[in-house]
Amino acid sequence: MATILYDADANLELIRHKQVAIIGYGSQGHAHALNLRDSGCNVVVGLPENSKSRERARQDGWSPVLPEEAAARAQVIMLLVPDQHQGQVYTQSIKPSLTEGKLLLIAHGFSLQYGQIVPPDNIDVAMVAPNGPGAQLRHMYSIGSGIPALWTIYQDVTGQARELTLSYAQALGCTRAGVIQTTLSEETETDLFAEQVVLCGGLTSLIRTAFETLVEAGYQPEVAYTCCLQEVKLIADLLYKGGIHFMHNSISDTAEFGDYVTGPRIIDEHTREKMRETLRDIQDGSFARNWILENQAGQPTLRAMRRKDATHQIETVGNK
Ligand code: NAD
Ligand code: MG
Ligand code: MG
Ligand code: MG
Ligand code: MG
Ligand code: MG
């Protein structure tokens, strides 16, 4: 069973006495920086000179410095740049100033798990991975609550890594909701699996294929859009609130019966085997290798897919 820790298990004072660097000011970066500031921490934001995020950071009251300067000043460094750039940012801007005993933090295990970052053995390394987008992390904190997070200690040379990492998680507001101890590979592999199979890849393919099936059969695209895409939010809210059985209690008996008889026809043993294959590709590094090579090649596949994505009929109908 998972160990879940809360505010009472952490000591906010520890992180308040350190200089923290937040590298990157995107979805996660802005939420980490603002939550930490509101928790009474000393934060410096690190961004390249030409970064588009500089303006947003300035509007939020920061005076961003270069990533290498932020990393040099800080004792705790949270790396919140896109996963595919982390290896390069780490090597160029972080590594040179990783003096003994500093704490390097990440919010997702990809770059460490797949060897894009290889930290020296005289620093602490840990992960605090919030279970949600930055906007939600910030919003929940600002109403006095928080979102859960996964955390793990990758390397502890000071003997303080655990306490300091939990203190960081408290400053983020995550110990208000509960933080679950994990391992680097568990967080990395389950996060990639869930976004590919359920949250992003699975869901969008399910919606698009259902939309296309209705339109092909002659139904109005606007009607197909509403019932196959927009209503997902209503069901997702029920699932978020109380789980599957709770959702079943809230829908009509007709919808519930249709769920039981048709769900397993759509997601069948063939799909289960595909899920296992997907998991194997994540575990053995095949997916990571593809994604790393894709970036080295200048993202040709990502760009082509994005263009195709944007021009699908479901977008035209949705915009209308
Ligand atoms: P993002 O794309 O929203 O923001 C990235 C930030 O990094 C931007 O401010 C960008 O300007 C900056 N940046 C880009 N290249 C840079 C460089 N070379 N040097 C310095 N800064 C650079 O990214 P994000 O979604 O916040 O992801 C950051 C990390 O958080 C990733 O490891 C991601 O897996 C993790 N994470 C994201 C979410 C989420 O929902 N977005 C949730 C949990 C964890
Ligand atoms: Mg994006
Ligand atoms: Mg995640
Ligand atoms: Mg992810
Ligand atoms: Mg019912
Ligand atoms: Mg209905």
Residue 21 has pLDDT above 90, yes or no: yes
Q: How many CB atoms lie within 10 A of CB 262?
A: 10
> What pLDDT does 32 receive?
99
Asked if 19 and 115 sit in the same domain, the reply is: yes
**Residue 171 and residue 232 in one domain:** no
Which ligand is nearest to the Cα of residue 256, counting in written order? Answer: 5
Q: What mean pLDDT comes out for the span 235-253?
A: 98
Residue 157: give its domain's CATH number: 3.40.50.720
pLDDT of 46: 98
* Spatial CA neighbour of 266 closest among 219, 223, 207: 207
Same domain, 165 and 148: yes
In the reported structure, the alpha carbon of residue 258 is separated from the centroid of ligand 3 by a whole-number distance in angstroms of 31
Tell me which residue of 7, 8, 16 sits closest to 175, measured CA to CA: 7
pLDDT band, residue 1 (cuts 50/70/90): confident
Structure ipTM: 0.94
Q: Which residues line ligand 1 (CB under 6 A)?
A: 23-29, 47-48, 51-53, 67, 80-83, 85, 89, 107-108, 129-130, 133-134
Q: Which of 15, 61, 23 is nearest to 40 (CA)?
A: 15
Range of the domain at 178: 4-182
Q: Quick one: 158 and 196 in the same domain?
A: no
Residue 216 has pLDDT above 90, yes or no: yes
Question: Looking at the structure, do residues 178 and 209 belong to the same domain, yes or no?
Answer: no
Q: Domain ends where: 128, 161, 182?
A: 182
Q: Is the dihedral of CA 260, 266, 267, 268 positive or negative?
A: positive
pLDDT of residue 318: 95
Q: How many domains does the chain fold into? A: 2
Quick one: pLDDT at residue 225?
Answer: 98
Q: Are the CB atoms for 85 and 117 separated by under 8 Å?
A: no
Q: Express each pLDDT in 76-93 by its tens digit.
A: 999 999 999 999 999 999
Q: Which residue has the tokens 């920061």?
A: 62
Where does residue 181 rank: exposed (0-12), middle (13-18), buried (19+ CB within 10 A)? middle
